[in-house]
Amino acid sequence: MLATRVSRKLLITAGASLAVAGLLAGCTAGTPENTSGPDESTVEGNEATGDTITIGFSGPAADHGWLGAINSAAIAEAGKYPDINLVVAEGTNDANLQISQVETFINDKVDAIVLLPTDGAALTEVAIKAMNAGIPVINVDREFSSTFAARVTILGDNYGMGVSAGTYICEQLGDKPDAIVAEIAGIDSLPLTQARSEGFAKALSDCGLKVSNRVAADFTVAGGEAVTSQLLSAAPKIDAIWNHDDDQGVGVLAAIAASGRNEFFLVGGAGSANAMREIQSGSSVLKATVIYPSTQAADGIRLARLVVQGKALSDLVEIEVPTRIVLNAPVVTKDNVEQYIGSAFES
């Protein structure tokens, strides 16, 4: 079946949401249009039950820890609100199937669509079709190729991830101008990988360092292990490594353990719970990871609710939801891991 209607009871038992509580807020409860003005926007007003709305959600196949967390967090977040009727399409990596899912949402006249596209460019046309039908689209993580395809776009900061990782490494190696820095990227053809590498190179250049050795994996455990073995064979000495993705990091750590080497430190990416436990242990080469929030679709659910009910963000003077939100990419270390591990995903 193309889509499964999720009851509120099932949603509530889906687990605690990973979304940041209290981020989004609106105005008077139950009013479909925001006529009160910014001075009356409150957290309480946003949380109060309003007119019931139907949100269609289409996301990826949960074949990766981070992607699975994206889906489960969105479902759990919708379950918090009795005024949300969530319709969840089957997770897919097939752009054509996802297009048909969105067309079904349009035909069913849902009130809003939250969409993490398999391919932003491929889903742009059908997203514009939804917008032209008066259905606001919330674009999550992978951008459409037209600004007309979404009412709101909410993103992680891929370039910022690279900057954060490079800045951390600079802080650790600032007194070693000849330090050897390696990089284990994800899928090189993806814009997100390219942006992460660009940010990383820029941050390193600011402290006089550069990437000496670079390999690219495929966001899988097996791929991470294979390319890390190649990297370690090719580079007899390394001072620091940045691995773009904590899911493939499971394989990266396995290859490092098999090599018996520990002269370097490792920085991860995305922010998985198992990576954070490694950091907590203090005995691993993994010393830090850079967050790429798995809350994006959950935040998209909240944003869709605000848009449809005519509400706003309580901490902004602006009386409408912004068109673009980019989430932060903080570095998690042993010093602050307790702050983040509760909302981390399992690889």
What percentage of the chain carries pLDDT values higher than 70?
88
How many folded domains does the chain comprise? 2
pLDDT for the residue numbered 12: 31
Within-domain flag for 324: no
Q: What is the pLDDT of residues 249-261, one digit of tens each?
A: 999 999 999 999 9
Within-domain flag for 167: yes
Q: How many CB atoms lie within 10 A of CB 347?
A: 22
Token pair 């605000």 in the structure block, residue: 306
Task: For residues 260 and 301, state if they share a domain.
Answer: no
Task: For residues 171 and 274, state if they share a domain.
Answer: yes
> Distances in Å between the alpha carbon of 334 and those of 212, 279, 337?
27, 6, 5
Specify the CATH number for the domain of residue 42.
Answer: 3.40.50.2300
Task: For residues 236 and 260, state if they share a domain.
Answer: yes
**Confidence category of residue 62, pLDDT binned at 50, 70, 90:** confident
Nearest to 299 by CA among 265, 337, 326, 330: 326
Task: For residues 236 and 337, state if they share a domain.
Answer: yes
The three-state secondary structure class of 343 is: helix
Inform me whether the pLDDT recorded for 17 exceeds 60.
no
pLDDT for the residue numbered 121: 94
Mean pLDDT, range 56-75, rounded to an integer? 91
Within-domain flag for 23: yes
pLDDT for the residue numbered 41: 64
Rounded Cα distance, 209 and 201, in Å = 8
Amino acid at 340: Y
Comparing 38-47, 149-158, 220-229, 307-316, the range with the smallest average pLDDT is 38-47
Mean pLDDT, range 313-323, rounded to an integer? 90
Using CA atoms of 326, 332, 338, 341 in order, give the dihedral in degrees to the nearest 10. Answer: 60
What's the angle, vertex CA 172, arms to CA 228 and CA 194, rounded to 5? Answer: 50
Inform me whether the pLDDT recorded for 30 exceeds 80.
no
pTM beyond 0.75? yes
Q: Which residue has the higher pLDDT, 8 or 204?
A: 204
Task: For residues 11 and 117, state if they share a domain.
Answer: yes
Comparing 12-16, 158-162, 220-224, the range with the smallest average pLDDT is 12-16
Mean pLDDT, range 62-90, rounded to an integer? 94
Mean pLDDT for the chain?
Answer: 89
Q: How would you label 42-64 residue by residue, b for 16+ Cβ within 10 Å and e otherwise?
A: beebbbeebeebbbbbbbbeeeb
Task: For residues 120 and 269, state if they share a domain.
Answer: no
The three-state secondary structure class of 192 is: helix
What would the DSSP string read from start to end of 114-157? EE--SSHHHHHHHHHHHHHTT--EEEESS--S-GGG-SEEEE--
Inform me whether the pLDDT recorded for 18 exceeds 70.
no
Structure tokens at 39: 């001075």
Task: For residues 11 and 122, state if they share a domain.
Answer: yes
Q: What is the pLDDT of residues 146-195, one digit of tens each?
A: 999 999 999 999 999 999 999 999 999 988 989 999 999 999 998 899 99
Domain that holds residue 231: 158-292+333-343
Q: CB pairs under 8 A, 24+ apart, for 42-51?
A: 42/314, 43/314, 45/311, 45/314, 46/306, 46/311, 46/314, 49/81, 49/82, 49/83, 50/83, 50/305, 50/309, 50/311, 51/83, 51/309
Inform me whether the pLDDT recorded for 345 exceeds 60.
yes
Task: For residues 42 and 11, state if they share a domain.
Answer: yes
Task: For residues 29 and 79, state if they share a domain.
Answer: yes
pLDDT for the residue numbered 34: 44
Inform me whether the pLDDT recorded for 16 exceeds 60.
no
Mean pLDDT, range 85-93, rounded to an integer? 95
pLDDT for the residue numbered 58: 97
pLDDT for the residue numbered 221: 95
Inform me whether the pLDDT recorded for 137 exceeds 60.
yes
Within-domain flag for 256: yes
Rounded Cα distance, 270 and 196, in Å = 11
Within-domain flag for 327: no
Within-domain flag for 326: no
Task: For residues 16 and 91, state if they share a domain.
Answer: yes
Nearest to 276 by CA among 294, 264, 261, 262: 294
Task: For residues 173 and 84, state if they share a domain.
Answer: no
Task: For residues 303 and 246, state if they share a domain.
Answer: no
